[in-house]
Structure 1
């Protein structure tokens, strides 16, 4: 793999990436919406301008999917033709179209989706799953090998449509259910719980700190999520109706 890495967008996941990639790359970071100076010493990285960060060997766009197209257009003049462009969006059909439309012609593009985050990966990421998609070029195998060999991840090769169809269930349902429970006023310090309930609350605790941008991306930007949610809600309503007490 190349030696310099630029990360544009240092939100929760962008920052989470740093401790995992800094052993392998010289990392430059950029985010116009936060002070990055505390991260420079903590992770031994360097904050740079947008132009400088986009000029590295590998450039990772760790921005909300809703902003990806605009960011690609903004960084395109600074990207090197021989560099590798990547994103970490949680949906892929729409971001892929934006990457192909606005990235410099012929530039290698590999899209990944780590199926974990700061909460679910807090105790380590070894053995966790990451989706890998070859958008353009011949460097996907190189990326997948790095993810497997160096980071210990389970790299699953897929394509944008299949990814989003599966994520409509895997993330669309879990985040919908989890966010709904977060909004409930559950009794505190319940001592009478079942293993099933405990598993449910573990799921809620994993996603409760996710950003609103991520939730909207999962539920609104996935073109297959609506059909899955409609089917789930229809089934839920049918079950609620079937369990009404008899008069």
Structure 2
């Protein structure tokens, strides 16, 4: 496989992209100058114009690429892995980009053939937060098996200026349950409380509204994955709601004499 020498060529190899939703499109836009991209998504409109170096493909052709990226909802991961497994070439590198890592990492290890490398990844940004470019944004990499970690880590730093955080699926989910789970939970509540004030605001509220804007248009499956598929999210959510209720009770009580 050509992975270790990708950076030495003007057209460094092929990348199969499974899923062409909001994040799949973001990935294709940034990766098209580094790979020839084959996209497989049954929901893709055949008449949709695609960026240069990006073409609609069959499942089989997309799975035969040097690098395979699964930009799919967590609930569809198992079926997708079973579908691509027979077509993966020896030495291919398979990545996912989901918000939760424990179950996807386990599924990729169990369902993919032993001859492929596997790294579970979580770009800690989305289309909204990446509007100004990728430099300085974070991505978590969780090595599952094989030797692909060193190459993908160097590539992401060199090509996009990303800050790479290498961790385990378990450690990722434990921290993401608070860092991401609470962000989306608070954003969901505030959006439903809206409309949010526009004129009489503080700087801290403006920052909060900016954070809400980064996640409020995420697909419902993203919110469900963050809040339901992360094994650590329920405990963090319960603790947050318990503390919120306790604070509310204290504020509702008569002030001490």
TM range (shorter): over 0.9
CA contact (8 A) 1:39 1:45 kept: no
Aligned to 2:75: 66
Structure 2 distance, partners of 1:92, 1:185, is 32
2:220 paired with 1:206: no
Aligned to 2:247: 239
1:106-145 equivalent positions in 2, closer than 5 A: 106-145=115-154
Q: Comparing both chains, which one has the higher relative contact order based on Cα–Cα distances under 8 Å and sequence gaps of 6 or more?
A: 1
Aligned to 1:170: 179
Aligned to 2:9: none
Structure 2 distance, partners of 1:53, 1:124, is 27
Cα distance, 1:33 vs structure 2: 1.2
- The gaps in structure 2 that reach 5 residues or longer are 7-12
Cα distance, 1:187 vs structure 2: 5.1
CA contact (8 A) 1:7 1:27 kept: yes
Are residues 185 and 53 of structure 1, via their aligned partners in 2, closer, same or farther at CA, if it must alter by over 3 Å? same
1:16-31 equivalent positions in 2, closer than 5 A: 16-31=26-41
- The one of 86, 94, 98 aligned to 2:103: 94
Are residues 136 and 192 of structure 1, via their aligned partners in 2, closer, same or farther at CA, if it must alter by over 3 Å? same
Aligned to 2:16: 6
CA contact (8 A) 1:18 1:43 kept: no
Structure 1 distance, partners of 2:153, 2:230, is 24
Aligned to 1:147: 156
Deviation track 1:168-205 (CA, whole Å, cap 9, x = no partner) reads 011000000001111123255x3111111111101111
Query: SS of the residue aligned with 1:199?
Result: helix
Deviation track 1:112-155 (CA, whole Å, cap 9, x = no partner) reads 11000100001111010000111100110110000001111001
Structure 2 distance, partners of 1:74, 1:39, is 26
Structure 2 distance, partners of 1:231, 1:88, is 28
CA contact (8 A) 1:37 1:47 kept: no
Of stretches 121-130 and 99-108 in structure 1, the one that deviates more from structure 2 is 99-108
- The one of 47, 55, 58 aligned to 1:46: 55
Structure 2 distance, partners of 1:122, 1:219, is 25
Alpha-carbon RMSD across the aligned residues, in angstroms, is 1.4
Runs of 4+ in 1 over 3 A off after TM superposition: none
- The gaps in structure 1 that reach 5 residues or longer are none
CA contact (8 A) 1:76 1:102 kept: yes
Structure 2 distance, partners of 1:71, 1:51, is 12
Give aligned pairs, total. Answer: 245
